[in-house]
């Protein structure tokens, strides 16, 4: 029986402050899997502080024995064209649970949370090579780079600080 065919029991719930160290560990796993560990500039203390100050929302996927197998980080933002939007920043499932339905449960629960916040649309970034691109397209997501010719820019901290310190 394949991983996808097995019944995998998992609870999706709002993260508690005590969960954040484990979420941060999974965040490190995510940056490693994307071969971008150097991009993880934030430390666990700051991450935990930001969560306690409600800078972002977080859901965790947990098995009945208490193991964490995934998480999502999201926040509300605003589109002047469409109104309230959900920004899904991270959705991560540990490799051994991929294909078990955990990712879909995390994704749909995150979207439901956005809906409860009054969001009308959601957006998120996916690495080009990530096999999850197919999963998101099957759920109806549209690649804005392909369909609307958008380019996504980032002002990194050194240039952000340079602009803000003048």
The residues assigned a catalytic role are 136
Dihedral sign of CA atoms 98, 108, 74, 131 in order: positive
Burial of 58 (0-12, 13-18, 19+ CB in 10 A): buried
If DSSP codes are grouped into helix, strand and coil, which group holds residue 41? Answer: coil
How far apart are the C-alpha atoms of 38 and 31, rounded to whole Å? 8
Of residues 56, 64, 53, 52, the one with CA closest to residue 9: 64
Q: Rounded to a whole number, what is the distance in angstroms from the first to the last CA of the chain?
A: 61
How far apart are the C-alpha atoms of 151 and 149, rounded to whole Å? 7
How far apart are the C-alpha atoms of 27 and 71, rounded to whole Å? 9
């Amino acid at each position: 029986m394949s991983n996808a065919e097995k019944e995998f029991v998992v609870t999706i719930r709002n993260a508690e402050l005590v969960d954040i160290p484990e979420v941060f560990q999974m965040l490190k796993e995510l940056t490693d899997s994307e071969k971008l560990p150097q991009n993880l500039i934030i430390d666990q203390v700051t991450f935990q502080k930001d969560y306690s100050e409600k800078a972002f929302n977080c859901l965790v996927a947990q098995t009945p024995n208490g193991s964490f197998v995934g998480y999502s980080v999201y926040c509300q933002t605003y589109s002047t064209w469409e109104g309230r939007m959900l920004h899904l920043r991270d959705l991560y499932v540990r490799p051994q649970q991929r294909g078990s339905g955990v990712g879909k449960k995390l994704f749909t629960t995150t979207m439901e949370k956005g809906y409860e916040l009054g969001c009308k649309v959601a957006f998120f970034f996916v690495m080009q090579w990530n096999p999850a691109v197919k999963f998101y397209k099957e759920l109806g997501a549209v690649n804005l780079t392909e369909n609307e010719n958008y380019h996504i820019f980032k002002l990194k901290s050194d240039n952000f600080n340079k602009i803000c310190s003048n």
